[in-house]
Structure 1
Amino acid sequence: MSCPILAALVYNEQAYPDDILKEVVDRCRARGFRLAGVVQHRSREAGHRCDMLLEDLATGQQSSIFAGRGRGAKGCQLDQDAMLQVVSQIEQALKGNPKLLILNKFGKVEAEGAGMRDLIAKAAWMGIPAIVGVPVCNLHAWREFAGELSAELHDSRDVEGWLVRTVSGTPLEKAAMMDPPP
């Protein structure tokens, strides 16, 4: 049986998988793999909870998808135009046949059928593996969306195993994706 082409990196809302996803990015870039997608970088300013930047993995460009609501705002408001721009950039990157699509979050917008959801489906249709951060609160929606095309990963070890089975094609690529023994 082949390995599912999609991977949900499942997390609870208090433990975003940013470090794991950044490790995947670093490992793939070190091997010269072309990537598509986004990872998030949190603001370093106290009280700016929604000041998060998304890094486009194909270009390195960083942008925000949240409307500026000021210091100490209680909630985040998605900037629909900014989100559409990011989706468009990722769609362009998919045309370059990347080795892997990485998306930081299958959020509320995706759970409701919009956002980056079509990008995930398009990548799977194109045969491009995708790893996506999925909060527990959206896991049911992810399962309904991805079905048998998805594996559920919970930590770095799971991610490494999925990468070796899915992203690495040749035996040499498989060996390169694994950490050397201690």
Structure 2
Amino acid sequence: MMPPADHDPELPPIATIVATARGAADTALRDFVADLRRRGVRVRGLLQESQPDSSGCRHLLVDIESGRHFPISQQLGSQSNACTLDTAALVEATSVLRRIADEGADLAVFNRFSKLESSGEGFAAEMLQVMSNGIPVLTITPPAYLESWRHFTGGIARELPPDAGALNDWFAA
């Protein structure tokens, strides 16, 4: 983890949970979001869920506010070696994120900053729009994409462990 930088009040608070152990970051994020919502914080965005199925695992994005599911895994058959990511479903899910940019939130959650976002695709444009509107942003970043994340955020984002205390301290600040 990079040492925490003092937060400039002119910059939006931006952070990522570094995904070091499989599933730990998703669980920490999901629990953190649930706790904030119980406290009346207006948290909006997308969480990722994984559900086992006959092909191994199916990934869904869940709209925090409405509960709507966006299945982002395609069923390509057991012999396929192609990427199972359904980019059409990702495009559909951007509506949730564009709404946040237009309507605001106390915290905007993006399920991942990963391969697509590191190349300027996926939810990269929506992340930048939300950040430029001054809305606090929290996401998850796998270690392989941390350098891209740092470049994407201009080095102003915090990197957090998947720990409730660290997440609460960041949000409280």
Question: Quick check: TM above 0.5?
Answer: yes
Matched, 1:110 2:117: yes
Matches within 5 A, 1:20-59: 20-45=28-53, 47-49=55-57, 51-59=58-66
Residue 3 of structure 2 corresponds to none
Distance 1:113 1:24 in 2: 27
Q: TM-score, normalised by structure 2?
A: 0.84
Matched, 1:126 2:139: no
| Identity across the alignment (%) | 26
Match of 2:147 among 121, 140, 158: 140
Residues 1:48 and 1:76: Cα distance change in structure 2 (over 3 Å): farther
Residues 1:13 and 1:64: Cα distance change in structure 2 (over 3 Å): farther
1:47 offset after TM fit, Å? 4.1
1:67 offset after TM fit, Å? 1.7
Matches within 5 A, 1:1-182: 1-2=6-7, 5-12=13-20, 14-45=22-53, 47-49=55-57, 51-70=58-77, 76-156=83-163, 157-165=165-173
1:46 offset after TM fit, Å? 5.7
- Per-residue CA distance 1:99-144 (angstroms, 9 max, x = gap): 1011121110001111111122111111110111000000010011
Q: TM-score, normalised by structure 1?
A: 0.81
Distance 2:132 2:94 in 1: 17
Other structure's SS at 1:89 match: helix
- Per-residue CA distance 1:6-27 (angstroms, 9 max, x = gap): 1011113634511101111111
Distance 2:93 2:54 in 1: 26
The total of aligned residue pairs comes to 164
Distance 2:75 2:55 in 1: 13
Any stretches of 5+ residues in structure 1 without a counterpart?
Answer: 166-182
Aligned partners of 1:18 and 1:40 also within 8 Å = yes
Aligned partners of 1:48 and 1:71 also within 8 Å = no
> Which letter does structure 2 place at the counterpart of 1:159?
L
